[in-house]
Amino acid sequence: MNHLTVYLVLSAILFSLGIFAVISRRNAIAVLMGIELILNAANINFVAFSRFGTTNLDGQIFAIFVIIMAAAEAAVALAIVLNLYHNLKTVNVDDASTLRG
């Protein structure tokens, strides 16, 4: 078992946990946290492939971009959740069904 495999397994576990959180949680904040886990699982992959692969620093750069994007996304998403809470007095995603056709 070499080092890359260890990182990939870690990333896969993180990804699965993130997916699980997104799917099972009803709380919008928890879903957002799941998404963060997924994004970071991807980041670990980027960095791991960059470190052990033949490529240069592209992976690390990408990871930084993802972190920036995740921050932006979290800001927007939290704003939405806040508005949701303001309007519906809940952060439960199942109750936010006003757009349902």
Residues that bind another protein (CB under 8 A): 19, 22-24, 31, 93-94, 97, 100-101
Residue closer to another protein by CB (options 1, 23) is 23
Residue closer to another protein by CB (options 32, 50) is 32
Q: Please tell me the distance from the alpha carbon of residue 40 to that of residue 73, in angstroms, as a whole number.
A: 13
Q: Quote the least distance from Cβ 93 to another protein, whole Å.
A: 7
Residue closer to another protein by CB (options 22, 74) is 22
Tokens linked to 37: 């886990």
